[in-house]
Amino acid sequence: MNPRPALPSWLTWWERPFPNANTILLYGRRPALIDSGFVGHAEETAAWVRARAGRVDLVVNTHWHSDHVGGNALLQAGGAAIAAGAPEAEAITRRDAGCCSAEYLDQPVPPYTVDVALDDGQVLRLGDTDWEVVRTPGHTPGHLALWQPEERLLVVGDALSDYDVGWVDLALDGPDVATTALASLQRLADLEPRVILPSHGPVPADPARALAAALRRGRRLVDDPEGAVRYGARRIFAFALMIRGGIPADEVEPYLHARAWLTDAARLLGIGPEALAADLVTSMLASGATVLRDGRFHAAADHSPTPPETLRVPYPGAWPLPEPYGVRTR
């Protein structure tokens, strides 16, 4: 087995279990963080930063899902600026109800603002090194990667991991979103990185092999839209179980029936929401993706417990408007 590629001394990689995305800290005159984890562990994220860098001046989000932006509010309150892909930055500034897909996915995100909107090709100073912004839409419309050409480091967000690719939302983002995601994967592969830093799982020992596998998986999402819908539904349901410490067995299907993402997935599959909910419960239990323990359904994947009180935050439609209203680009 190949060893993990060497990382430079000015970067610390924190591989985190679900429901957090992995976190990257860059040292220098302007300490920076890439992704801030889930709200349930925001205090842990902030303490980790303080212990290693004292402070962080800038948080860059690869995209706006809850496991990537949950520490933004706390870090911003401590003086950090937030940077994000332009489409998502603009929506957050407007306080669009659909921000972060938080209400749609039933995944809490504390209110934050975006100070810097990022677009393709921009050069961003993180720590003491320059990184290029690479737009990689697919998993979300504003998803981005970060490329450090001297060290050939590639931060890929949820575009891929050593074992997976990011799910795509055909209901929200349209029938061509899997093709968009595949094109983004190809763009990343064309960079020929020495090191891939994904948002979930370990640093791949063989970047070329990981990218080739991701391209094959991405092609399957294009070729099998029904499979892509079911894949996304499984991922969203598993995350719900993780952040809630499981759901009582007699409440699982009613919980699913109330979810907008499940209704949309059922429509795309041409079945009723009740049928899809029942299928998710039985198929994920049969595959071992979920387990029934003490009368509750739990996600089987390793994950950190989430304090229930941390989930009590407003959906973006109720977030206060930022002051001053606006977002800058650079």
pLDDT tens digit string along 142-166?
A: 999 999 999 999 999 999 999 999 9
The arithmetic mean of pLDDT across residues 21-47, rounded, is 98
The arithmetic mean of pLDDT across residues 299-307, rounded, is 97
Is the per-residue pLDDT at 326 higher than 80? no
Percent above pLDDT 70 for the chain: 97
Q: Which of 1-10, 220-229, 274-283, 292-301 has the lowest mean pLDDT?
A: 1-10
pLDDT score at 324 = 60
Asked if 37 and 24 touch (Cβ cutoff 8 Å), the reply is: no
pLDDT score at 1 = 60
Q: How far apart are CA 167 and CA 38, in angstroms?
A: 18
Please provide the average confidence, as pLDDT, over all residues in the chain: 96
Fold of 11-223: Metallo-beta-lactamase; Chain A (3.60.15)
pLDDT score at 330 = 43
pLDDT score at 3 = 79
Phi/psi for 315 (5° steps) reads -70, 155
Residue 232 confidence class, pLDDT cut points 50, 70, 90: very high
Burial of 252 (0-12, 13-18, 19+ CB in 10 A): buried
Burial of 141 (0-12, 13-18, 19+ CB in 10 A): buried
The arithmetic mean of pLDDT across residues 121-129, rounded, is 98
**Is the preceding peptide bond at 322 cis, omega within 30 degrees of 0?**
no
